[in-house]
Amino acid sequence: MSDLYRSALQARIAKLPMLPPEDGEDDEESELADSIGSLPTGFGPAPMPSRSTRTKRAPNVNFAPISAAGYFEQATQADVSASGLDVRAYYTPPKFADGTVMVFHHGAGQSALTFACVAKEVTEISRGECGVLALDCRGHGKTARTTDTESTQEDFAIETLTTDLVNALKVIYPDPATAPTLLLAGHSLGGSVIVRACPLLQEANYRITGVAVLDIVEEFTLEALPMMNSLLDARPEGFDSQEAAIEWHVRTNAIRNPDSARVSIPAIIKPAPPDSPLSSPAFVWRTPLRSTAPYWTSWFTGLSGKFLAARTARLLVLAGAERLDKELMIGQMQGKFQLVVIPGVGHMLQEDDPTRLAEVLVEFWRRNERVIAGVKKVGER
């Protein structure tokens, strides 16, 4: 099994350091479902020693956080009362009335800012015809619950996450008749969410021009789940600074693009609680990945079938062709979806090579949104 899928569920998150209207919030997300790099074993690097057993290093300015303010035109909160959430949304609208919006859903443990670099590339390559919308899902980033419950545990059931996305889009675009055409793109867990959300949005009369699943395949991911606890054990407890967190992710090949890591990684950590022992790191992971363990299997079971059944154009983008499972192999031979393999990237392909992924997404959009009458979209029978 490839190293990519051995770490398939260890998605890391993106942070928006110092995005304007958020005082005191320069860490944006924690890591939940991403990969720890392309190491031969696929189990990630050895754990770093705790702060109590090593000398604290001065922050490396070469890995200083970069503000995400330049990647989206807007960063706002949406009151999604139907889900009991205050949802963080990053948005760049299309420049034309008949434009399309690419809706990005991140994987477990990531945040919307994992798409910061690719979002900027999409708007540039499409010359503004495509807008971009990226959302922090529940329990991630700056999305917060607005309803008081006795339980402190988040509900990460796939049905709940899917309903959250649908509810959020209904708030952002309340009138399907005037809403832009939507292209749904999801990475890892986000891929499972968007293929389930597609028919629900279509039933509500939203126009969906396609679904794009990014580097997730049901069979290999389910096989990789037993390795998750070992992968989590391999992570450091925390970091002395945001710079140290960024450097660790780059050095271990978790993210191969330092510029993207400088935008996204600070969001996956947060300051340690004030009552933490002095030996604790200054920054700890924002999202407790182990708390999502009861949901792991349900997230991905049935993904391939639901992807192939989507009543719209379908795109699967992978970091390695060997990751297709039997159901998808048959579907590919039958021409049910477009497959693109991006070389030289890891599981975080949207961060590793945002330019190439943006080119793939824009080309997919152009092929299927600007179709000539009588010409079928990709995957249509």
User: Does position 149 have pLDDT exceeding 70, yes or no?
Assistant: no
Active site residue: 7, 35, 111, 188, which one?
188
* 3-state secondary structure (DSSP) of residue 29: coil
Q: Is residue 177 part of a domain?
A: yes
Q: Is residue 7 part of a domain?
A: yes
User: Closest Cα partner for 210 from 35, 33, 371, 70?
Assistant: 371
User: Does position 274 have pLDDT exceeding 70, yes or no?
Assistant: yes
Q: Give how many domains the chain has, as a whole number.
A: 1
Supply the CATH number for residue 351's domain.
Answer: 3.40.50.1820
Give residue-wise pLDDT tens across range 100-148.
999 999 998 889 999 999 999 999 999 999 999 999 999 898 899 998 7
Is 347 known to be catalytic? Answer: yes
User: Does position 4 have pLDDT exceeding 90, yes or no?
Assistant: no
Q: Which residues pair with 212 in a beta bridge?
A: 185, 315
In the structure, what pLDDT confidence band is assigned to residue 327 with cuts at 50, 70 and 90? Answer: very high
Phi-psi region of 143 (alpha: psi -120 to 50; beta: other; left: phi over 0): beta
More confident call, 20 vs 54: 54
Summarize the confidence of residues 202-207 as an average pLDDT: 98
User: Closest Cα partner for 297 from 226, 231, 234?
Assistant: 226
Top mean pLDDT of 182-196, 212-226, 275-289, 307-321 is at 182-196
Q: Is residue 73 part of a domain?
A: yes
User: Does position 21 have pLDDT exceeding 50, yes or no?
Assistant: no
Can you read off the two tokens belonging to residue 242?
A: 């945001």
Summarize the confidence of residues 343-369 as an average pLDDT: 96
Phi-psi region of 51 (alpha: psi -120 to 50; beta: other; left: phi over 0): alpha
Cα separations (Å) of 194 from 17, 165, 287, 306, 361?
Answer: 27, 8, 21, 10, 15
Summarize the confidence of residues 82-100 as an average pLDDT: 94
In the prediction, which pLDDT does 374 show?
43
In the prediction, which pLDDT does 377 show?
54
Give residue-wise pLDDT tens across range 276-300.
898 889 998 888 888 899 999 999 9
With both helix axes pointing from N to C terminus, report the angle between 189-203 and 158-172 in degrees, rounded to the nearest 10: 50
Summarize the confidence of residues 217-225 as an average pLDDT: 91
Torsion angle of the four alpha carbons 118, 123, 126, 131, in this order, in degrees rounded to the nearest 10:
110
Is 164 known to be catalytic? Answer: no
Q: Is residue 374 part of a domain?
A: no
More confident call, 170 vs 57: 170
Average model confidence (pLDDT) across the chain: 83
In the prediction, which pLDDT does 47 show?
39
Active site residue: 38, 249, 347, 353, which one?
347
The share of the chain scoring above pLDDT 90, in percent, equals 65
User: Does position 375 have pLDDT exceeding 60, yes or no?
Assistant: no
Q: Is residue 191 part of a domain?
A: yes
Domain that holds residue 342: 3-369
Cα separations (Å) of 332 from 5, 259, 338, 340, 352?
Answer: 20, 34, 7, 11, 25
* Residue in the structure block whose two tokens are 């050895």: 46
Q: Is residue 381 part of a domain?
A: no
Alpha-helical segments (H) within 210-353: 218-224, 228-233, 242-251, 258-264, 296-300, 303-309, 326-333, 349-352
User: What is the torsional sign of CA 320, 43, 256, 188?
Assistant: positive
User: Does position 17 have pLDDT exceeding 50, yes or no?
Assistant: no
Strand 85-92 with 74-80, pairing: antiparallel
User: Closest Cα partner for 221 from 352, 108, 350?
Assistant: 108
User: Does position 33 have pLDDT exceeding 90, yes or no?
Assistant: no
User: Does position 41 have pLDDT exceeding 80, yes or no?
Assistant: no
Q: How far is CA 173 from the centre of its chain?
A: 21
Can you read off the two tokens belonging to residue 311?
A: 């009543």
In the structure, what pLDDT confidence band is assigned to residue 311 with cuts at 50, 70 and 90? Answer: very high
Active site residue: 3, 215, 240, 353, which one?
215
Q: Is residue 379 part of a domain?
A: no
In the prediction, which pLDDT does 34 show?
34
Q: How far is CA 328 from the centre of its chain?
A: 22
* Residue in the structure block whose two tokens are 């699943």: 213
In the prediction, which pLDDT does 147 show?
83
Summarize the confidence of residues 32-45 as an average pLDDT: 30
Q: Is residue 380 part of a domain?
A: no
In the prediction, which pLDDT does 44 show?
31
What's the maximum distance between 2 C-alpha atoms anywhere in the chain? 68
